[in-house]
Structures are given as C-alpha cells and as structure tokens.
Chain A
Amino acid sequence: EDQVTQSPEALRLQEGESSSLNCSYTVSGLRGLFWYRQDPGKGPEFLFTLYSAGEEKEKERLKATLTKKESFLHITAPKPEDSATYLCAVRLYNQGGKLIFGQGTELSVKP
C-alpha cells in the first residue's frame, strides 16, 4: 500500500533555531514529491516539487531535499511567520494526478 508518513507531528522552535521536517514514503512509481504550507483556515500553499533523488530546491529560509525513501524540509533560522502546518504529498504515475498526503507537521516558532 502506498504510504506517506511525516514526522514529527508537531515541532516547537525558538526563533533562529534551525531544524528539519521529515517525509518518508513507501510508494510504487513516484512521479513527484510536493511540499505545501497550510495556515489555519486556509488552503495549502505550494512550496516545492522534487522529482528525483539528489534534487534540492530552496526558497528563502526553506530547503527541500529528496532521497529514494524520504524528503526533508530544512528550515534555517526560522521566524515566527514560518509557523504553519507543512504538508508533504506524493504523486504517482498512472494515478491521474492524485496526491497522497502525509499527516503534516505543525510548526510553531516562538520569538
């Protein structure tokens, strides 16, 4: 069965304290792995797409990496405005564009 697991479920950081969020996946035929940010009461906001092992993408304080089994979202020197739930999702071949989501990591950054 195709599965996506995110850890930790919740993460509390002090402002400036760097850390990483993990997304491990067990799927057949990975077409792409996506990271989204979701604020309370809003729809997910697209961050990154990764397609192959070894690929890295960066945007401001965020950096996403991909291996054959997992992806990491590294947050460098986070600020309170980075507080949100971060969702990982995978898209498989021959699934018509459907995404399989992990449960998310709720990040809280305190000043």
Chain B
Amino acid sequence: GAVVSQHPSRVICKSGTSVKIECRSLDFQATTMFWYRQFPKQSLMLMATSNEGSKATYEQGVEKDKFLINHASLTLSTLTVTSAHPEDSSFYICSAIYESTDTQYFGPGTRLTVL
C-alpha cells in the first residue's frame, strides 16, 4: 500500500511553453501533498505544500505564478510549470502523507528538460 505515482516520468518541451505534471495517490486519500525539486547531487528542495480544496502554500523564493499547483481531489495534485525556461529543467518529485502511519511517501519523479 501507500503508492504514489507521477505522470509523465519524462518531458521535453520548448522554452516558453507550459508543462503539467500529475501526482496521484493510488491506494489512499491524501489531504496533503508536497512538491519538491531536486538538482543533480543535491537533496530535495521543498517547493510547496498542496492541500486539497485550498490554495497551496509556497516556500520562500518559489514563484507562485510560475509553478501553479492544484489539489482538486483527495488523490490528485498537479504542478504546472508556466512559460518554462531552460533554468526550470530539473527533477520534480511529489509526495503524499499517508495519514494512517503519518508517513510521507514519494512518487517516482518527473524529469523536465526545457530546450
């Protein structure tokens, strides 16, 4: 149990386009999900906390208008990178809290490359 999926696993886009990444909790409901960004050889950097039915809470320095987060249901959160630029290229990982065990489970990640 406690499986989190992400789609797509890899995406390549042109500069200026928008990209949507989906995060789903497959076998549990999650009122709280998180979005992270990870650069090579570095640890995870929290971007925002996504709460079902309410606005996301962004970490300091993360552009709200650039990284749009929607948590429309108890099993789905989406991250949209708007007007993507090469510096947005990174590994994006989502996670969800499995409340029965108070544990955060992670998705497999999405590799975004902006040309």
User: Among A46, A49, A87, A103, which residue has the most Cβ atoms of chain B within 10 A?
Assistant: A46
A98 pairs with B34, CB closer than 8 A: yes
Q: How far is the CB of B4 from chain A (nearest CB, A)?
A: 8
User: Among A42, A43, A45, A103, which residue has the most Cβ atoms of chain B within 10 A?
Assistant: A43
Which of B2, B42, B93, B101 is in CB contact (< 8 Å) with A103?
B42
- The answer to whether A34 has its CB under 8 Å from any CB of chain B is yes
Name which residue of chain B comes closest to A32, CB basis.
Answer: B102
Name which residue of chain B comes closest to A100, CB basis.
Answer: B46
Return chain A residues, CB-CB under 8 Å to B106.
Answer: 36, 43-46
Count residues of A near B (Cβ-Cβ below 8 Å).
Answer: 20
A96 pairs with B104, CB closer than 8 A: no
- The answer to whether A78 has its CB under 8 Å from any CB of chain B is no
- The answer to whether B57 has its CB under 8 Å from any CB of chain A is yes
Return chain A residues, CB-CB under 8 Å to B101.
Answer: 49
The count of A-to-B residue pairs whose CB atoms sit within 8 angstroms is 52
Question: Which one of B13-21, B60-68, B81-89, B107-115 is at the interface?
Answer: B107-115
Q: Mark A73-84, 1 if CB is under 8 A from B, else 0.
A: 000000000000
Given A96-B49, A96-B57, A34:B108 Cβ within 8 A: no
Q: Mark B40-54, 1 if CB is under 8 A from A, else 0.
A: 001110100100000
Return chain B residues, CB-CB under 8 Å to A32.
Answer: 102
Return chain B residues, CB-CB under 8 Å to A41.
Answer: 91, 109, 111
User: Among B44, B97, B105, B109, which residue has the most Cβ atoms of chain A within 10 A?
Assistant: B44
Return chain A residues, CB-CB under 8 Å to B44.
Answer: 44, 87, 101
- The answer to whether B103 has its CB under 8 Å from any CB of chain A is yes
Question: With contacts A36-B106, A46-B105, A97-B97 known, what are 19 further pairs, Cβ within 8 A?
Answer: A42-B108, A42-B109, A43-B4, A43-B93, A43-B106, A44-B93, A49-B103, A87-B43, A91-B104, A96-B32, A96-B57, A97-B32, A97-B34, A97-B49, A98-B46, A98-B49, A99-B46, A102-B43, A104-B43
6 shortest interchain CB distances as A-B pairs: A43-B106, A44-B106, A43-B109, A101-B43, A43-B108, A103-B43
